[in-house]
Amino acid sequence: MIITRTNLFATAVVGAGISDLTTHFLCINENRARQNNYHFESGQFRMNGSLFELAENYAANSPLNFVKNVDTPLLLWTGRNDRQVLPSQSMEFHLALRRL
């Protein structure tokens, strides 16, 4: 989420956003019935390695680790039955913002 890196925007909306790469890496993708790691190691995320090989890179790219930088009003949403990104990703970010 770009709002963890800048205050450029007046407001933001995040739909089915991934806030923690570690937990998403270790989840099962229900659409494909396999672990999400393929997205990271050779797919869309282009991390070019596993969580265990590149732990610092995964942490540096997880918005949850930079939640303290968020000053922008934010609407988070994820479908209750979303099978690609678990609703817990939005809930974790929401709870982190509330704890600040």
Q: So where are the chain's domains?
A: 2-99
Report the CATH superfamily, name and number, of domain 2-99.
Alpha/Beta hydrolase fold, catalytic domain (3.40.50.1820)
pTM: 0.88
Q: What pLDDT, on a 0 to 100 scale, did the predictor assign at position 40? A: 86
pLDDT beyond 80 at 30: no
**Contact 76/14 with Cβ under 8 angstroms?**
yes
Tell me how far apart the alpha carbons of residues 58 and 100 are, in angstroms, rounded to a whole number.
23
Residue 80 has pLDDT above 80, yes or no: yes
Q: Mean pLDDT, to the nearest integer, of 53-70? A: 97
**Sequence letter at residue 9:** F
pLDDT at 70: 98
Residue 84 has a pLDDT of 85
Average pLDDT for residues 29-58, to the nearest whole number?
A: 86
Q: What is the DSSP string of 75-92?
A: EEE--TT-SSS-THHHHH
Matching residue, tokens 């890179």? 57
**pLDDT over 90 percentage in the chain:** 70
Bridge partner residues of 74 (DSSP) = 12
